[in-house]
Amino acid sequence: MLALKALTTFFVVSVATAQPVVVAALGDSLTAGYGLPQEEGFVPVLQGWLSEQGAEVELRNAGVSGDTTAGGLSRVEWTLTEDVDALIVELGGNDMLRGVDPAASRGNLDGILKAAEARDLPVLLVGLAASGNFGPDYKAAFDAMYPELAETYGTLLYPDFFAVLTGREDQAAARRELMQGDGIHPSAEGVRLIVQDIGPRVLELIERVE
C-alpha cells in the first residue's frame, strides 16, 4: 500500500513539474511580426496553432526587424540559453534586399547552425526564394544555400517562407489580401496561412527534442 502511494505521488509530481519544450525562433522582421499587432505576428500565431495541436511548447520570439544573417550570427550564442531545446532559423531576406554576397550569407548561416550543433539542438531552417534583381547567378547561389546547409547539418528544412502565398494562382489578389502595403511583409491573413503550412514542420522539430 505504501509503495503504491509513493509511486502515485511520484507520478503526480513528475507530471506537475513537466516543462514544455522551449523553441527559440531566430529571425528578422518576418519572425518579429513587423507591421502587425503583437498577437497577429508570426510567433504568437504559431504558438497558438501549436497549442491547438496539443503541443507542450514555449515559442520564444528572437526576431529583430532589419536583421541580417550576420546579425543573427552575432546573437545566436545569447539566444541559445541553457533552457532552449530547439531552434528555428529564419534569416536571409535582408541580405537579399541589400545584395549581400550569398557566400557571406551562407557563411553566417553556417556559423549559426554550428552553434546549434555544438549544443546538440535540432533545427528547422527556413529559406527564402531570391528575386531576380541581381541576376540568375545570384539567385541560384542564394536559393541553393538553404537546402545545401540543411543537408550538411541534417536539419529540417522549410524551403521558402512565402511558398504558400507565392503558390496561389491569383498573385494580384494574393499580394493585395495576403501582403502588407510594402509588398515585403505578410498581412495577418498571410501569417495565418504561412503558420498553417509551416506548422507541421515545427511539430517535427519538437519531436526531435530528446
Residue at 1 is within a domain: no
CATH (domain of 54): 3.40.50.1110
Residue at 5 is within a domain: no
> What are 121's strand-pairing partners?
none
Is residue 163 very low, low, confident or very high in pLDDT (cuts 50, 70, 90)? very high
Q: What pLDDT score does 169 carry?
A: 85
Contact (Cβ atoms closer than 8 angstroms) between residue 161 and residue 128: yes
* DSSP letters for 131-172: PSTT-HHHHHHHHHHHHHHHHHHT-EEE--TTHHHHTSS-HH
Residue at 14 is within a domain: no
* 29 is a catalytic site residue: yes
51-81 tens-digit pLDDT: 999 999 999 999 999 999 999 999 999 999 9
% of the chain with per-residue pLDDT over 70:
91
More confident site: 172 or 103: 103
Contact (Cβ atoms closer than 8 angstroms) between residue 100 and residue 138: no
Prediction pTM value: 0.90
Residue 122 has pLDDT above 70, yes or no: yes
Residue at 13 is within a domain: no
Residue at 62 is within a domain: yes
Residue at 2 is within a domain: no
Residue 168 has pLDDT above 80, yes or no: yes
* 185 is a catalytic site residue: yes
Residue 11 has pLDDT above 60, yes or no: no
38-55 tens-digit pLDDT: 999 999 999 999 999 999
Contact (Cβ atoms closer than 8 angstroms) between residue 90 and residue 122: no
> Cell triple for residue 93?
531576406
Q: What pLDDT score does 210 carry?
A: 80
- Nearest one of 35, 107, 30 to 62, comparing CA atoms: 30
What domain range is 98 assigned to? 20-207
Q: What pLDDT score does 16 carry?
A: 42
Residue at 201 is within a domain: yes
Average pLDDT, the chain: 92
* 101 is a catalytic site residue: no
Domains identified in the chain, total number: 1
Is residue 161 very low, low, confident or very high in pLDDT (cuts 50, 70, 90)? very high
Q: Please give the backbone phi and psi of residue 79, each rounded to the nearest 5 degrees, phi first.
A: -75, -35
Helical H runs in 17-134?
29-32, 42-52, 69-79, 93-97, 102-118
Exposure letters 83-101 (e unless 16+ CB within 10 A, then b): ebbbbbbbbbbbbbeeebe
Among residues 28, 95, 185, 187, which one is catalytic? 185
Residue at 112 is within a domain: yes
Is residue 171 very low, low, confident or very high in pLDDT (cuts 50, 70, 90)? confident
Among residues 28, 29, 67, 105, which one is catalytic? 29
